[in-house]
Amino acid sequence: MTDIFVFIIAIIFLVGSISLALPSKSSKEKSKVRMQAKMLGCKISSTLYGKNTFKNINSIDVSYQIKNKSSLKEGHFIRDKEQFILYSPVQLKYQNGFEQMIFNLNNISQHLDEIIFSERRIIFLWDERKGVSNLEQILERINNF
């Protein structure tokens, strides 16, 4: 009787270990999106480690980076409800064309949460669950910014 009990417990542990080792459906989808993003020219970095300047990192574990080809060389924008707001630098708010810049940012994608423009790159957070087609739209509109 104890032999059967030990055998059943061993089988349960074996099945549990195998099921933990297999990737879930959502992790497979994320992996696919990230692989295609790399082929589109994005660099993907973890938001969990190192120096992080993002403010909306509540459920997003990676950031996407692309080369900055825009005329905007400094700016940090955060989505607040349905609109982007300027986080820094404040003097950007007083430049000509600021309203048009915010309008263009708001039209990139509703799934874009935060975007940082620097001299060399543009770093952004977005909802990866929306798929590669949404990422392609984001990249196209950022490159036309």
**Model pLDDT for residues 3-21, shown as the tens digit of each residue:** 888 888 888 888 777 777 7
For residue 79 the two structure tokens come to 């989505």
For residue 103 the two structure tokens come to 């309008």
Residue 20 covered by a domain:
no
pLDDT band at 136 (very low <50, low <70, confident <90, very high): very high
Name the 3-class secondary structure at 43.
strand
Residue 134 covered by a domain:
yes
Total residues belonging to the chain = 145
Host domain of residue 50:
25-143
CA angle centred on 52, ends 25 and 99, rounded to 5°: 95
Rounded CA separation 144/32 (Å)? 26
Number of domains within the chain: 1
Residue 4 covered by a domain:
no
Residue 10 covered by a domain:
no
Residue 42 covered by a domain:
yes
CA angle centred on 76, ends 56 and 29, rounded to 5°: 45
Q: pTM of the predicted model, to two decimals?
A: 0.78
